[in-house]
Amino acid sequence: MNAKELCEGSRANYANFITWVALDRSNLSAGRQLSVNYFIVAVILFFAQLLFGMIAATQFIFPNFLYDWLDFSVNRMVHINAMIVWMLYGFIGCVYWLLEEESGTDIVGLKLGKLAFWVLTGAVTIVVLVYLLIQTGAGKDSSLWLINEGREYIEAPRWADIGIVIVMLIFFYNVVATFSKGKWSGIAGVLTLDLVALAGLYVAGMFYMTNITHEQFWWWWVIHLWVEATWEVLVGVIMAWSLMKLLGVRRQIVTTWLYIEVALMFGSGILGLGHHYFWIGTPEYWLTIGGFFSALEPIPLVAMVVHAMYDAGSHSFKNSNHPAVAWIIAQAFGNFFGAGVWGFMHTLPQINMFTHGTQWSASHGHLAFFGAYATINIAFFYLAIQHWRGDVWMNSDTANAWRWKWALGLLNAGVVGMTVALLIAGYEQSFIERAVEGSTWGGYFSAQNHPSFQSAMVWRWFFGLMTFSGLILLIWDLLTIGKGETRKAQEIVEH
Amino acid sequence: MIEPVALKDFFITFFSAALIIMAGASYALLFAWSKVNTNPRIKIAAYFSYLVLLVAVVLLTKAANFSGYWLTLSGVMVVGYFFAPIGIWYLCVKTHAVSDTQQATLEDK
Amino acid sequence: MNETPLWASESFWKKTAIWVTAGSFLILVVLTFDSLSQTQAGGKRVPAYSVINKKIDYVYQKDLHKSMPVIGETELLFGKEYTEAEAEQLVMLGKKTTQAKNCMNCHTLLGNGAYYAPDLTKAYLDKGWVNKEMREDMMIKFLMDPEKNARTFGSNRKMPNLDITEQEAKGVVAFLKWMSSIDTNGFPYNFKTINAED
Ligand code: HEM
Ligand code: HEM
Ligand SMILES: [Fe+2]
């Protein structure tokens, strides 16, 4: 088969695929068409995330798997970078989705927004290809500018950082200009300020520093103040808006609760940053500040759970999109357990001294990122597909509802299973490597070679596979749910 | 200054820390529930959750070798986790207040 | 009960949110300035780069419940005394190499990174380098060809060959030596250095 045939063959396949999914873009406003572009890329990157996670997890069991070809460092980098980027894509998609309805007008600067989408997607593709094909460079600036910055989560080379900032500015322009042309609201205000903070923090991670204490100081500004402050609030905004639409909660209530959340979240999360400044060379007062403020961090999460139950209860759980609401409930619990419970378990310096930098962090990281941020994005994917299908009926009795239910079950059970396996591994590691053997290299490897660690890695692999199959089912469901559905979505009255 | 957890206290540290947050949440939820359902057992369960929380705070305080100003953290948890759920409940009610009356008028019609 | 009290009103929480956020952020900014100045290379917590000319060790202090760094007499690296500027150059090369080679996605540095390979925070002082006479040579050889000089400690996990040049390897060793002198508030707990007797 020659290249031309291959090309035509794939074009035909693509055409068949499009006919099969039978999605009609004219069901969506222009702004929402841009929004679903972001969702599509998000789902593809989610798939890539789990694929490379599986490879990395395999290497824990069979270290020679793909050795020298796709090393652990490469796979892990793609795993966590794909995660950060797909979640950001999802969030941007959510914002474009609610922008027109919330402002009451058409998007301003849509053309530019579309261009930004393609530029960003092109840049992401190039970055990933360079990660996979070039992988590492020499120890000089040009490597950091062109290949990889070598800093966990924000590895993207500097040229891409700058590109990302430019795209963010365009996105930001779309948001602000649209609200200014239409109308502002409490939700719009919080959203705008939060986006300023989110983008501004990214810039804090764009500088090279030889002094590793300073470098990690700023690195944590990005990572921590993203996931424990600005991202939480962004999710709060998205959640507030969805609760209004899905359950019919009154605007004044969701706005008030959004402010409550901002106060509690920023009040605990900003100085909670201290829990990353225990051991990187920074002064001792961070032990106290980090310990105290991160002990407060679970409170907003508890408040959100109680309030979510209250809202859902007072609306008798009546809603127009069952899969989305199921994922929103998963978010409330996932955020509470992953961030609140798992976070607090290892956050006091007295114990973090031993858990720091072990599989403990990975256990917490998986449950928290999935529970807090994967869930809400998935909820929104369902919301989007419902409208893309023409605002159709999407309750528990839709055709093939088993798919979304099983996808929900497999994904959640898989991540919880991985979390528990990693918890066992982390416990053993903090015990043997850190406490008993005083963190020498020998101690590290005795912990890694321990049977309980090894079997935990096998369990993680199997639960990873469960997660991965959940995702495949989820993608299948997103492509087919509501297809051929003729009933209109259930009406929700605001009260 | 901190005194790191002793090896033998690892488990109790993780366990009591998790218990504080979970008992706190369960107290909060049960407290809210006891307000909408008059069954006295719910209220008892709510206060029982808080009792569990208290015990967990004591265990954590010991296991994590809190002394000096670290003890105020224990105090903050004991007091804060008692009142926060009550506050959250009243916030839920009061922020929804208007909508409840609106609903009542709707139902009257 | 249709009156919303002040403390449950939208405007009250809006103001609270603004003040709490601004207040926390302001405190963070102040602390950031303080922390950055206390951790300037050459200060008490983060030694000058020329510390690579010195002996670095840790002693456990019972009353403080932690190990404290002790910077000792001269103990040259690669048999050469570096000026402050030369030392900084070398450490910088090492730091850039660790970033360009993506060390952090297998190892942890100061406890942050990935968990597939051992922590590098005090790796320069690790007993795994047998003794101080062999250490430098072993480290350079290992970095330049980790596959042949694999030290897997029975785990089968081998570091891949990252095409590190000799100069880069020297930089990395200097960087590791400098990093091992940072006062990390006692992390990792009860770490026994290559100098300690068993
Ligand atoms: C949704 C919110 C959260 C997410 C997504 C999240 C995620 C993460 C991740 C991925 C790490 C590992 C970072 C690394 O690679 O080194 C981490 C570390 C940590 N997190 Fe969270 N986290 C969240 C909330 C919290 C909360 C609320 C607490 C405290 C109550 C907390 C406490 C910690 C601590 C202490 C560490 C440091 C672990 C270490 O010493 O290695 N996190 N978090
Ligand atoms: C197929 C399922 C998955 C597998 C097999 C997997 C595997 C892995 C592996 C092997 C690592 C490296 C840990 C190390 O350095 O030792 C990792 C890190 C990480 N993964 Fe996953 N993962 C999966 C799914 C997920 C999901 C669903 C999320 C979140 C939405 C996630 C978030 C993370 C994060 C945040 C880290 C960095 C943790 C840290 O540095 O502490 N992973 N994963
Ligand atoms: Fe954090």
Q: A259 C-alpha vs ligand 3 centroid, how far in Å?
A: 22
Cβ–Cβ of C4/B97 closer than 8 Å? yes
Mean pLDDT of B14-21: 97
Closest residue in A to C192 (Cα) is A438
- CA-wise closest residue to A79 among A55, A99, A110, A107: A55
Cβ–Cβ of C2/B3 closer than 8 Å? no
* A408 SS3 class: helix
Give the closest ligand to the alpha carbon of residue A79.
Answer: 2
Q: C94 C-alpha vs ligand 3 centroid, how far in Å?
A: 28
Give the closest ligand to the alpha carbon of residue A460.
Answer: 2
- C2, C25, C95, C112, best to mutate vs chain A, most A CBs in 10 Å: C112
The residue nearest atom 40 of ligand 1, judged by CA position, is A356
Mean pLDDT of B37-58: 96
- Please return the burial class of A69, using the count of CB atoms within 10 Å of its CB with bins 0-12, 13-18 and 19+: exposed
Cβ–Cβ of C65/B2 closer than 8 Å? yes
Chain C touched by A67 (CB under 8 Å) = yes
* B67 SS3 class: coil
| Residues A417-470 pLDDT 10s | 999 999 999 999 999 999 999 999 999 999 999 999 999 999 999 999 999 999
pLDDT band at B109, cuts 50/70/90? very low
Compare CB distances from B73 to A291, A299, A306 and report the shortest one's residue.
Answer: A291
Contacts of A273 in chain C (CB under 8 A): 28
Mean pLDDT of A97-116: 96
The residue nearest atom 39 of ligand 1, judged by CA position, is A356
Q: A344 C-alpha vs ligand 2 centroid, how far in Å?
A: 20
Q: Is the dihedral of CA B100, B104, C1, C6 positive or negative?
A: positive
pLDDT of residue A87: 98
Q: Which residues 6+ apart lie within 8 Å of A400 measured at CB?
A: A477, A480, A481
- Distance in Å from the first CA to the final CA of chain A: 63
Cβ–Cβ of C64/B1 closer than 8 Å? yes
pLDDT of residue B97: 76
pLDDT of residue C198: 58
Give the closest ligand to the alpha carbon of residue A301.
Answer: 1
pLDDT of residue B107: 46
pLDDT band at A311, cuts 50/70/90? confident
Mean pLDDT of A288-309: 91
What's A374's DSSP letter? I
Contacts of B67 in chain A (CB under 8 A): none
Q: Is C112 in the pocket of ligand 2 (CB under 6 A)?
A: no
Q: Which amino acid is at A68?
A: D
pLDDT of residue A310: 85
CA distances in angstroms from A44 to A15, A121, A123, A472, listed in the order given? 18, 11, 15, 11
Among A80, A86, A231, A342, say which to mutate for ligand 2: greatest number of ligand atoms within 8 Å of CB. A80
Q: Is A57 in the pocket of ligand 2 (CB under 6 A)?
A: yes
The answer, yes or no, to whether residue A485 has pLDDT greater than 90, is no
Q: A345 C-alpha vs ligand 3 centroid, how far in Å?
A: 13
Cβ–Cβ of A440/C8 closer than 8 Å? no
- CA-wise closest residue to A292 among A321, A256, A267: A267
The answer, yes or no, to whether residue C39 has pLDDT greater than 80, is yes
Which residue is listed with tokens 């500004």? Answer: A221
Cβ–Cβ of A253/B21 closer than 8 Å? no
* B23 SS3 class: helix
Compare CB distances from A298 to B21, B96, B98 and report the shortest one's residue.
Answer: B21
CA–centroid distance for C36 within its chain: 16
State how far residue A264 is from chain B, nearest Cα, in angstroms: 12
| Residues C12-31 pLDDT 10s | 999 999 999 999 999 999 99
The answer, yes or no, to whether residue C128 has pLDDT greater than 60, is yes
| Residues A43-72 pLDDT 10s | 999 999 999 999 999 999 999 999 999 999
The answer, yes or no, to whether residue B106 has pLDDT greater than 70, is no
Cβ–Cβ of B97/C64 closer than 8 Å? no
The answer, yes or no, to whether residue B103 has pLDDT greater than 60, is no
* A264 SS3 class: helix
The answer, yes or no, to whether residue A312 has pLDDT greater than 90, is no
CA–centroid distance for A343 within its chain: 17
The answer, yes or no, to whether residue B53 has pLDDT greater than 60, is yes
Token pair in block for residue A339: 């961030």
The answer, yes or no, to whether residue A316 has pLDDT greater than 80, is no
pLDDT of residue A484: 84
pLDDT of residue A247: 82
pLDDT of residue A480: 94
What rounded mean pLDDT belongs to chain A? Answer: 94
Q: Is residue A414 left, alpha or beta, with left meaning phi > 0 and alpha meaning psi from -120 to 50?
A: alpha
The answer, yes or no, to whether residue A118 has pLDDT greater than 50, is yes
Q: Tell me how far apart the alpha carbons of residues B20 and B40 are, in angstroms, rounded to a whole number.
A: 24
Q: A364 C-alpha vs ligand 1 centroid, how far in Å?
A: 6
Q: Tell me how far apart the alpha carbons of residues C121 and C118 are, in angstroms, rounded to a whole number.
A: 9
Q: A430 C-alpha vs ligand 3 centroid, how far in Å?
A: 19
Mean pLDDT of A278-284: 97
The answer, yes or no, to whether residue C53 has pLDDT greater than 80, is yes
pLDDT band at C5, cuts 50/70/90? confident
The residue nearest atom 6 of ligand 2, judged by CA position, is A53
pLDDT of residue A490: 82
What ipTM score was computed for the predicted complex, to two decimals?
0.97
Q: Which amino acid is at A346?
A: H
Cβ–Cβ of B95/C8 closer than 8 Å? yes
pLDDT of residue A223: 96
As separate numbers, helices (DSSP H) first and strands (DSSP E) second, chain A gives: 20, 0
pLDDT of residue C2: 53
pLDDT of residue C1: 46
pLDDT band at B108, cuts 50/70/90? very low
Chain A touched by B101 (CB under 8 Å) = no
Mean pLDDT of A340-369: 97
Cβ–Cβ of C2/B97 closer than 8 Å? yes
Q: Is C116 in the pocket of ligand 2 (CB under 6 A)?
A: yes
Q: Is A84 in the pocket of ligand 2 (CB under 6 A)?
A: no
| Residues C162-171 pLDDT 10s | 999 999 999 9
Cβ–Cβ of C153/A435 closer than 8 Å? no
What's B38's DSSP letter? -
Mean pLDDT of C151-156: 87
The answer, yes or no, to whether residue B99 has pLDDT greater than 70, is no
Q: Which long-range contacts (CB under 8 A, 24 or more apart) does B45-54 make?
A: B49/B23, B49/B24, B50/B23, B50/B81, B50/B82, B52/B19, B52/B23, B53/B19, B53/B20, B53/B23, B53/B24, B53/B27, B53/B77, B53/B78, B53/B81, B54/B78
Ligand 1 binding site (Cβ under 6 Å of any ligand atom): A 152, 227-228, 275-276, 294, 297-298, 335, 339-340, 343-344, 346-347, 352, 356-357, 361, 364-365, 368-369, 372; C 111-112
Closest residue in A to C194 (Cα) is A440
- What pTM value is reported for the model? 0.96
- Please return the burial class of C56, using the count of CB atoms within 10 Å of its CB with bins 0-12, 13-18 and 19+: buried
pLDDT band at A178, cuts 50/70/90? very high
* Vertex A477: Cα angle to A475 and A481 (nearest 5): 135
Closest residue in B to A285 (Cα) is B1
Contact between residue C127 and residue A440 where contact means Cβ atoms under 8 Å apart: yes
Which residue is listed with tokens 């997890």? Answer: A57
Mean pLDDT of B88-103: 74
Q: A228 C-alpha vs ligand 1 centroid, how far in Å?
A: 8
Mean pLDDT of A292-321: 86
Q: Which residues 6+ apart lie within 8 Å of A237 measured at CB?
A: A187, A190, A191, A194, A258
Mean pLDDT of C38-65: 95
